[in-house]
Amino acid sequence: MPVLARAALPDPVRIGVEGAYPPFSEVGPDGELKGFDIDIARALCAQMRVRCVLVQQNFDGMIPALNANKIDAVIASLSITEERRKSVDFTDKYYKTPGRLVARRDAALRPTPDGLAGRRIGVQRASTYDRYATDTFARSEIVRYAKLDDVFLDLAAGRIDAAFADSVASYVGFLRQPGGDAYAFVGPDFIEPRYFGNGAGIAVRKGDTALRDALNAAIAAIRANGTYAAIQSRYVDFDLYVDASPAAAASAGPLHGYARSLLQGAWVTLSLALLSLLLALVLALLGASAKLSRSAWLRAIAQAYTTAVRSVPDLVLMLLVFFGGQALVNALALRLGYARGPDIDPFVAGVLTIGFIYGAYLTETFRGAFLSVPAGQREAAMAFGMSPWQSFRRIVGPQMLRHALPPLLNNWLVLLKSTAIVSVIGLTDLMQRAGLAAGATHQPFLFYAAVGGLYLGFTACSEAAFGWLSRRLDVGTRRAVYR
């Protein structure tokens, strides 16, 4: 690739991938991304001789993240359709496989609108299969999932009657797995160009011709030099570049060995929760002080903060901070003459959002705890010549903390479990890693039970720590004795 052309590309090139769509994209037991899409992405970057970063993102958030300038390209088996061309540009295709219906062998389903009337069909949300099923199987109940793994888990559990998805992903990711022999493809290939386009391409932002042209040249090069064929042979024994249905495929990988991955996710969850709690405590102290202030303006601001935050769902606030915040940062950067602003990291967005949310809840906790301390004690401290800070540190603060400790523990435990919402913005926390492992191995009970055990451990340790702190604060206090 010419040096001048390479200089026009972002550094690094941020590529959005899914991580829950075997054999194209999944997370292995070591926590690393693997799959056909992942290998193709790395091969294209090597061919272009540019530095790339893979950014894991939920499928239905790919195009919003691309247009919010959080990523530069999407390599996630994204079908090239006219509907999607309205919001993004596409490269040439890099593979093409048809869609298929999957159901139990003994279900005797007819793959027609009449035959599937009243049946529950599972699809991945915002996919071409979602749109086709919605338009074609109007008398069926279309059940939408964030990840394809979840579609197959519910099919195996009997909650849906059929799954509608890519044929290779269905074959390798489900039919070839343990338990998959009870299921089979139903009906013909689905290849209507109106819905499924002409294969899967790489999405880039509208007008980003430099990156699109560089990727097109790289796709042609790896097809010509044998790199594409070598990657393809790791997953299937037929040509993915032309219309084809799977005949045989490799195993999705080992079933166990995800313990390290879960522990890595647990560390992310715990770090996120602790930093969020720290931010929440600071905001809560400021909020409580403002609510108790003599200033009407401060009281109004604090009241608006607690009312607004407690009225809006946590998930909505998370999406507003991550996507809306990035749009504001980019707009500000453009006004200042920069091409784009700094990225808002999912971890940072999670800390800010969760800290902001629980700061509002803890504001009321601290306000109530402060009012529980008799006003006469503060007046006595002032009479002894103590400054407001000395009065708070020596007299009011310890008593206030003792009153606040039980609700503080409850809020901490709820906050800890609320960190799971960060998975929607691409952070691989404990729940995200458990879901990926469950999808890859088709053993959801095993991994979600392990997650439950880890959260139980977090809770037990938290209660022990708060119990110790409570005993420390109770030293020297008089206890009532009832006879």
Amino acid 123: pLDDT: 95
The one-letter amino acid code at 95 reads: Y
Would you say residue 249 has pLDDT above 50?
Answer: no
- Contacts of 228 by beta carbon, 8 Å cutoff, 6+ apart: 40, 43, 222, 241
Query: Do 41 and 178 belong to one domain?
Result: no
Tens-digit pLDDT profile for residues 339-362: 667 778 888 989 999 999 999 999
Statement to judge: residues 171 and 214 lie in one domain: no
The answer to whether residue 292 is domain-embedded is: yes
Summarised one tens digit per residue, pLDDT across range 278-330 is 999 999 999 998 998 889 999 999 999 999 999 999 889 988 888 888 888 88
Q: Who wins on pLDDT, 390 or 227?
A: 227
Structural domains counted in the chain: 3
Q: Name the token pair of 182.
A: 């009870």
Tokens of 7: 């200089």
Q: Are 125 and 145 in contact (CB under 8 A)?
A: yes
- What pLDDT is attached to residue 482? 42
Question: Does residue 204 sit within a domain?
Answer: yes
Contact 67, 207 (CB under 8 A): no
Encoded tokens for 265: 């996710």
* 454 and 391 co-located in one domain: yes
What pLDDT score does 247 carry? Answer: 43
Predicted pLDDT at 245? 54
Ranking 11-25, 154-168, 276-290, 327-341 by mean pLDDT, the lowest is: 327-341
| 280 and 410 co-located in one domain | yes
Percent of the chain predicted with pLDDT > 70: 91
The answer to whether residues 107 and 192 belong to one domain is yes
Same domain, 307 and 376: yes
**Alpha carbon distances (Å) from 257 to 144, 253, 435, 443:** 30, 10, 14, 13
Tell me what pLDDT residue 439 has: 64
Q: What is the pLDDT of residues 109-129, one digit of tens each?
A: 888 898 899 999 999 998 889
Please name the helix (run of DSSP H) or strand (run of DSSP E) that holds residue 224, with its range, or none.
helix 209-224
How many angstroms separate the CA atoms of 359 and 310, rounded? 10
**54, β-bridge pairs:** 15
Reply yes or no on whether the pLDDT at 455 is more than 60: yes
pLDDT at 293: 86
d(CA 384, CA 362) in angstroms, rounded, equals 31
The region of weakest confidence among 221-235, 259-273, 433-447 is: 433-447
Based on the fold, state whether residues 406 and 287 are members of the same structural domain: yes
Phi-psi label, residue 53: left if phi above 0, alpha if psi -120 to 50, beta otherwise? beta
Residue 231 lies in a domain: no
Boundary (domain end) residue, out of 196, 218, 238: 196
Stretch (H or E) spanning 36: helix 36-48
- pLDDT above 50 for 139: yes
Q: Can you tell me the distance from the alpha carbon of 346 to that of 428, in angstroms, rounded to the nearest whole number?
A: 9
CB 138 within 8 A of CB 118: no
Tokens encoding 193: 């160009």
Asked if pLDDT for residue 58 goes beyond 90, the answer is: no
- The verdict on residue 174 lying in a domain is yes
DSSP codes, 452-473: HHHHHHHHHHHHHHHHHHHHHH
pLDDT at 40: 96
- Among 12, 48, 22, residue whose Cα is nearest residue 222: 48
Tens digits of residue pLDDT in 406-421: 889 999 999 998 888 8
Of the chain, the end-to-end C-alpha distance in Å amounts to: 88
Report whether pLDDT(401) > 90. no
- Check residue 475 and give its pLDDT: 59
User: Is pLDDT of 140 > 90?
Assistant: yes
Statement: residue 251 has pLDDT above 50:
no
Where are the strands (E) in 96-236, listed by range? 99-104, 120-124, 141-145, 162-166, 183-190, 200-205
Domain carrying residue 32: 3-95+198-226
Residues 248, 416 contacting (CB under 8 angstroms): no
75-92 pLDDT, tens digit per residue, is: 999 989 888 999 999 999
pLDDT band at 147 (very low <50, low <70, confident <90, very high): confident
pLDDT at 250: 36
Asked whether residue 381 carries a pLDDT value surpassing 80, the answer given is: no
CATH assignment at residue 460: 1.10.3720.10
Q: Which pLDDT score, from 0 to 100, does residue 305 have?
A: 93
For the cut 80, the answer to whether the pLDDT of residue 397 exceeds it is no
Q: Judge if 125 and 271 occupy the same domain.
A: no
- Does residue 249 lie within any of the structural domains? no
> Would residue 75 count as lying in a domain?
yes
> Looking at the structure, do residues 173 and 206 belong to the same domain, yes or no?
no
pLDDT in the model for residue 187: 85
Kindly write down the DSSP assignment for every residue of 314-352, as one continuous string.
HHHHHHIIIIIHHHHHHHHHHHTT-SSPPP--HHHHHHH
Residue 386 and residue 345 share a domain: yes
269 and 318 assigned to the same domain: yes
Structure confidence at residue 470 (pLDDT): 80
Instruction: Supply the CATH number for residue 205's domain.
Output: 3.40.190.10
Domain assignment present for 350 = yes
Give domain status of residue 248, yes or no. no
pLDDT tens string 129-138: 999 999 999 9
- Kindly tell me if the per-residue pLDDT of 47 is higher than 90: yes
Residue 16 pLDDT more than 90?
yes
Residue 478 has pLDDT above 60, yes or no: no
Asked if pLDDT for residue 37 goes beyond 70, the answer is yes
* pLDDT attached to residue 6: 61
Instruction: Give yes or no for residue 35 having a pLDDT over 90.
Output: yes
Whether residue 283 is found in the same domain as residue 340: yes
pLDDT value at position 404? 82
Give the per-residue pLDDT at 254: 36
Mean pLDDT of the chain: 85
